[in-house]
Amino acid sequence: MRYLLLAAIVWGSSFPVIQYALRDVSPVLFLILRFAVAFVILLPRYRRVERVKTLFGRDLVLIGLLNMIAFVCQYKAQELTTASKTALFINSNPVFVALFSAALFKDRFTKRQLAALVLALAGVVVTSTRLDFSSVSSVNTGDLFAIGAGLLWAFFVIYSGGLAKKYGAFNMSQALCFWAALGASPFLVPENVHFAWRAVPAVLYLAVVTTILAYYFFLKGVQSVSPLSTSIVILVEVVVAFLISHFFLGESFSGIETVGVVLVLAGVVMVVARRGPASSGEK
C-alpha cells in the first residue's frame, strides 16, 4: 500500500502543473515531451538487446497504447472543459474498475471495500462540484474526453498488476513511456501545435517526478493490491491536487470542499487499514 500512496501523492501534484502548463504548450505535444524526456532519461538502462526487446512485448504494446490514449483524452479534457468536471469524470474510474472486475473476472468485494468506494466517490463528487450540480448538468466534448479517460484507466488498473509481475515494475514503466511518446505522435497532425519555453520546467517535473518515480511506485504497489483497492487508494491524488491548488495557486477552499476531502480520506483509510485475511477481491 505504501507504494500506491506514494504514487498517488506524486500524481496529485501533476494536476495543477498540467493545468498551468497547458497555457503554454498544446496538449498532445506536452504529452509527447513528458514521456519522451522520461524515456531518454531511462535510456542508459538499455545496454542489452534483450531489454530493448521487452518494449515490443504484445502485452506492453497494448497497455502502453491504452495508457497513451487515456492521457490524450485527459489533456484534451483539461483543454476543453473545467478542471472540476475533468477531475470528477476521470476519478469516477473506481466505479468502472468494480464493474469491469466483476464482469470480466467475477471478482467479489468485501463490505469494507464497497463502503470505502462509496465514501471515496462521495468525496470526489463533493470536492469537484461543491454540490453545485449545475456545473456538470450539461455535457460537452471535453466532458466526453474525461469520461473516456476514466474508462481507459479502469482497464489500465485492472491489467497492470499482472503485467507488472510478469515484466517487472521498471521494465513496464519504461515501456509505458516509450509507447506513450511514440503512439501519441500521430495525434499531433490535427492539433494546433504551440510551445513556449516557460513550459520546460513543467515538462521536466512531470517527466522525472510524476512519470519515472510515480509509475515505478504504482507498478510496485499494484502487484499485491486488488484493482478496486488500488483505484480507491489512488484517489488520494484528488486530495493532494486540491490542497496544492489551494495553498500554492490561491484557489478557494470552502467548508463543503473540506467535507469532500475528509470523505475521500475516510474511504482510503478504510482500504489501507483493513484487517484480517485477504478476500477473494484481494490479491
**Residue 278 in grid coordinates:** 485477504
Q: When comparing pLDDT for 190 and 233, which is higher?
A: 233
Chain position carrying cell 511518446: 181
Q: Is the pLDDT confidence value at 78 over 80?
A: no
Q: When comparing pLDDT for 276 and 49, which is higher?
A: 49
Tens of pLDDT, residue by residue over 258-281, are 888 888 888 888 888 764 444 333
Rounded Cα distance between 261 and 238, Å, is 8
Q: Are 154 and 57 contacting, i.e. CB atoms less than 8 angstroms apart? A: no
pLDDT > 70 in the chain, percent: 87
**Residue 70 in grid coordinates:** 487515456
Q: 195 forms bridges with which residues in the sheet?
A: 25
What's the confidence (pLDDT) of residue 131?
73
Q: Is the pLDDT confidence value at 54 over 80?
A: no
Rounded Cα distance between 141 and 247, Å, is 31
DSSP string, 196-209: -GGGHHHHHHHHII
Mean pLDDT of the chain: 82
What's the confidence (pLDDT) of residue 281?
39
Helix and strand numbers (H, E) in the chain are 15, 0
Query: Which conformational region is residue 12 in: left (phi greater than 0), alpha (psi within -120 to 50 degrees), or beta?
Result: alpha
Q: Predicted confidence band at 207 (pLDDT cuts at 50, 70, 90)? A: very high
Give, for 19, the enclosing helix (H) or strand (E).
helix 14-21
